[in-house]
Structure 1
Amino acid sequence: MKFKILGIEHIGVAQNSGSNKLSNFFSDTLNLHSTKELVDNQKVITEIFDTGSGKIELLYPSDKSSVLDKFLSKKGESIHHIAILVDNLDELIKHLISKDIKLINKTPQKGADNKKIIFIHPHSSPGMLLEFCQEI
């Protein structure tokens, strides 16, 4: 294989717009600092807390037409995805396609935190939305 799994990059947690209980818990109770970013092409605002050995990404819909807003209306505030860091996203995409894995996007998208990303459709990863990312 021409790619390497480097580890879990973050866990994404869907949050309703205006919800701040989890954010306040991480910042006020656990003294973690966050960075916020609008990811316009995904129609989300991310708030990333770096724990030192992994990140927690709170995801807020920035638009009512976002996929995240639909997720929240069905499942409520909950874990949305697990992101796995790789060293070569393009090679991973080729590998996944060769294994008939269904991708939500076959071309890497710009994600938060200076990453390019793809998602595996939950039907191909038994019910779990998986994100794969690479540093830009």
Structure 2
Amino acid sequence: MFMRIDHVGIACHDLEEKIALFERIFELKVVAREVNTEQGVKEAMLHIADGEGGGSYIQLLEPLGPDTPVGKFLAKRGEGVHHVAFGVPDVVQALEKIDDRGVRLLDKQPRHGSLGSSIAFLHPKDVGGMLTELVQAAERHGGVTPNARNADT
């Protein structure tokens, strides 16, 4: 079912500070930035590598406010790993299979994700305490996903 680890989401208080840290220490580069008001975050995707199933990234997440999911996470747990996202070829099909296996779905239908992807989350209590995201990557155009063209916005 899984093709790769798509990304690891890391909650942080200051997006710019964490971008600079990951660029300096790991030599990663930002390939996309986005404000996702539906999820209440400002985010940056830092590219790690490409593989047969698609790219792998670090996703840095800064909450838009304290009452957002990431804002509440930071207040309770502090900065750190927020979720792990797995690349799937078809997010709708993956949701159906996982639902049939008795796992609670936080999203019954896919929604907009980073880099133009379709995403859905699984309930952490049903998968060992880990917030799990399923990601169906957007079609790639010229080696760059559509939203990745505006990395400096």
Query: TM-score by structure 1 length?
Result: 0.89
Instruction: Determine the structure 2 residue equivalent to 1:11.
Output: 8
CA distance in 2, matches of 1:94, 1:31: 38
CA distance in 1, matches of 2:125, 2:69: 16
CA distance in 2, matches of 1:31, 1:126: 32
TM-superposed deviation, 1:65: 2.3
CA distance in 1, matches of 2:45, 2:73: 19
CA distance in 1, matches of 2:15, 2:87: 28
Structure that is richer in helix per residue: 2
Q: Does 1:32 align with 2:34?
A: no
CA distance in 2, matches of 1:20, 1:77: 14
How many residue pairs match? The answer is 132
TM-superposed deviation, 1:30: 3.2
CA distance in 1, matches of 2:15, 2:36: 18
TM-superposed deviation, 1:22: 3.0
- Cα RMSD between the aligned structures? 1.5
Over 4 Å off, 4+ runs:
none
Residues 132, 51 of structure 1: alpha-carbon distance in 2 compared, 3 angstrom cutoff: same
Query: TM-score by structure 2 length?
Result: 0.80
TM-superposed deviation, 1:113: 1.3
